[in-house]
Amino acid sequence: MPAISTNDLKNGITLNLDNTLYTVVEFQHVKPGKGGAFVRTRLRNLRTGNMLDRTFNAGIKVEQAILEKRDMQFLYKDGEDYVFMDTETYDQVNIKPVALGDAADYLVENAVAIIATHDSEIVSVEIPAAVELEVTVTEPGVQGDRVSGARKPATLQTGKVIQVPLFINVGDKLKVDTRTGDYITRV
């Protein structure tokens, strides 16, 4: 694996530190008036999702992990596993819910995701920032009950429950932010 200087760190780069994969969430190059420069980083463990703050001396070499990213289409759920198909080779892969993380709450059949692997181990699943999902269960809004900013729970077709405005009904298609799980708009 290639070694890169801490001066070349950028957001999104994946590092292999102590046989654990981390992605750089943010970094700051600091040059104090006295002493040597250093790089302060915030790293996310790709396997557990935990955050780690780490400081490196400027100019030292760290090991960069090369991830192979492929577009894959979600086909169906097989028991606990999610079955994806490679859009180029048509090979099917079973992925455990642990590897999907929060992305599992937003996957519908035929949705395309970017699957990142390292040494044939799935380390992350990237889905679009917003997806369109249908409401399957929610209470009807009461006529005249239009308190500004009032919310009610709604269950989406994937089983995810989010807070929506009172005017949303069963069968409505909603645009949902996959990073925060918030309602964006009705489609």
* pTM above threshold 0.85: no
pLDDT band at 97 (very low <50, low <70, confident <90, very high): confident
The 10s digit of each residue's pLDDT in 46-81 is: 877 788 999 999 889 999 988 899 999 999 988 888
For tokens 């790709």, the residue is 46
The 10s digit of each residue's pLDDT in 133-149 is: 999 999 887 666 566 67
Q: Evaluate if residue 40 carries a pLDDT over 90.
A: yes
The 10s digit of each residue's pLDDT in 154-180 is: 999 989 999 998 888 899 999 999 888
Say if CB 74 and CB 113 are below 8 A apart: yes
Q: Evaluate if residue 126 carries a pLDDT over 70.
A: yes
What pLDDT is attached to residue 119?
Answer: 85
pLDDT band at 122 (very low <50, low <70, confident <90, very high): confident
Average pLDDT, the chain: 87
What pLDDT is attached to residue 50?
Answer: 83
What pLDDT is attached to residue 145?
Answer: 59
Question: Cα–Cα distances in Å, from 24 out to 1, 132, 151?
Answer: 17, 29, 36
Map out the domains of the chain with their CATH numbers.
3-63 (2.30.30.30), 68-126 (2.40.50.140), 130-186 (2.40.50.140)
- Distance (Å, whole) CA 77 – CA 153: 25
What pLDDT is attached to residue 3?
Answer: 87
- Distance (Å, whole) CA 47 – CA 123: 6
What pLDDT is attached to residue 137?
Answer: 92
What pLDDT is attached to residue 150?
Answer: 80
Q: What is the mean pLDDT of residues 97-122?
A: 86
- Distance (Å, whole) CA 68 – CA 89: 15
Q: Evaluate if residue 1 carries a pLDDT over 80.
A: no
For tokens 């069963």, the residue is 170
